[in-house]
Amino acid sequence: MVKKRGFITEKDLLELNALCLVLPGPTSTQTISAIGFRVGGPFLAYLSLLVWVLPATILMIATAFLIEYLQSNTKGELGFAKFIQPMAIGYIIYASQITIKKMIHTVEAAILMMIAAFIAFFYNSPFIFPIMLLVGGLITTHNYNKQPIIEEKSEINISWSNFILWAGVLIGAAVLGHYTKFFAS
C-alpha cells in the first residue's frame, strides 16, 4: 500500500504502527483500521476491519475443526504442531530486523534498542515494558529542544457518531454473548 499504491507514506505507516503498538489488542488489525480511516473515513475503516478479520476467523475455525477431527480419528499426537513455535520465533526475528532497519538512525537509538532488548530478554516481568518506555522517553527528552517547531494545529472536532456505533456493536456483542451462553446451558 505504501510503495505500490501510495495510499499513505511510509512515515505515516510507521507512525500508525507505533501508535497501535502502544494500544492494547491486535496491532495489525488496529493498523489496518487506522489506514482505512485515514484513506476513506469511518466506512472504509469498518469495511477494511471486516475484510481483514473475516478470512482469518474462517481459517481459524476451519483449522480448529480439522485438528479436532484429526485428534479424534488418528492415533498419537499431531507431529506437525512441533514446528509452530520455531516458525513464529523466526517470523518475529525477521520482522524485528526489517523494523530496526527502518527506525534506528542514530547511535543513541541503537544503544537504547540494544539495552532494551537485553533487559527484555533476561527479565520476564509485565512491568518491564512500561518501565523501559518511561526510561527511554526520559533519556531522549534532552533532544526535545532540538526538534523543529511545528505549526499551530487546529482544534480537534470529534465525531461522536463513530463512538456511538462502536459502543453499540460492543454492547450488542455482549448481549448476544450473554444470551448464547444462557441458551447453551
Taking only the tens place, the pLDDT of each residue in 105-151 is 888 888 888 898 899 889 888 888 889 889 888 888 877 777 667 77
C-alpha cell at 29: 488489525
Give mean pLDDT, residues 175-179.
88
Are 132 and 66 in the same domain?
no
- Please report the pLDDT score of residue 182 as a whole number: 67
The domain tally of the chain equals: 2
In contact, 74 and 81? CB cutoff 8 Å:
no
Are 38 and 89 in the same domain?
no
Are 96 and 33 in the same domain?
no
- Please report the pLDDT score of residue 62 as a whole number: 93
- For residue 138, what are the domain limits? 82-142
Are 44 and 86 in the same domain?
no
b/e per residue 15-26 (b: at least 16 CB within 10 A) = ebbeebeeeeee
Are 62 and 90 in the same domain?
no
What SS3 state is found at 123? coil
Are 65 and 93 in the same domain?
no
Please state, rounded to an integer, the average pLDDT across all residues of the chain: 84
Tell me the CA distances in angstroms from 96 to 11, 77, 101, 113, 124, one per residue in order: 17, 32, 9, 11, 19
Q: Which residues contact 48 (CB under 8 A, 6 or more apart)?
A: 32, 33, 35, 36
In contact, 35 and 13? CB cutoff 8 Å:
yes
Are 129 and 95 in the same domain?
yes
pLDDT band at 11 (very low <50, low <70, confident <90, very high): confident
In contact, 9 and 2? CB cutoff 8 Å:
yes
User: Per the domain annotation, does 126 fall within a domain?
Assistant: yes
